[in-house]
Homo-oligomer: A and B are copies of this chain.
């Protein structure tokens, strides 16, 4: 299957990401259909021209005729949807997703697919602190990373199609990682940072803090506004890796604590210089 303007695209789940995918694809001339849970989201997305056609009903022909189905759902809903409706997918269809954790979900999804339907996993590393199709905005993809997560069961064609989808959506970087390596990266870069921000917000109950805050605290806790239903699910999907990364951070934090307790300026400054040196590489180009 080649990816072009005739590719029939179906998005399942019109939330922030599903809506933003639809906007990006429509902007580039694709026809986009969608299935989602709430009639209000169907009406909104249709009125605003975010999709060509949307429905709350899982219409068999809509699913059967799609060449590419993009699942923009929570992990457990993704699995449940395929349990209920997976048999509607037809040979030659490729499905992909937006799930933030891969190792656990990939085998579950593969086990639910009819013969000749291929799942190529992907993780768009983009989001906002607010959810829902009403907050959809495909500019969140600009400058961001799109990670394709193939397994040895994937065909080169599906991998290429998924990469093209990433470029078409407007991502700045499209790369490939194994499920294990993906989950390790995400465990450290994304999940651990959310754990830190949440822990910091929960650490101290002082209504006056907000009056004296500076940008450092604001930046560090931006992601402390968190969708608790989604993130608790993602944390447990990646439990083993995340606990390892949390331990790794704890050790580093304890080391810094000890240098301060011991008044060991040399060791403290060494950590700060390592931190500065590493962080410099992360500045946006």
Contact = CB atoms under 8 A, between A and B. Distances in A.
Nearest to A247: B257
Interface residues of A, number: 85
A279 B225 contact: yes
B214 A252 contact: no
Interface of A: 125-126, 144-145, 147, 173, 175, 177, 185-186, 188-190, 192-204, 206, 208-226, 228-229, 231-232, 235-236, 239, 242-243, 245-246, 248-257, 260-261, 263, 265, 268-269, 271-276, 278-282, 284
Given A279-B201, A282-B221, A209 B228 contact: no
B209 A189 contact: yes
A218 to B, nearest CB: 6
Residue with the highest number of chain B CB atoms closer than 10 Å, among A147, A204, A242: A204
Nearest to A238: B260
A40 to B, nearest CB: 23
B276 A210 contact: no
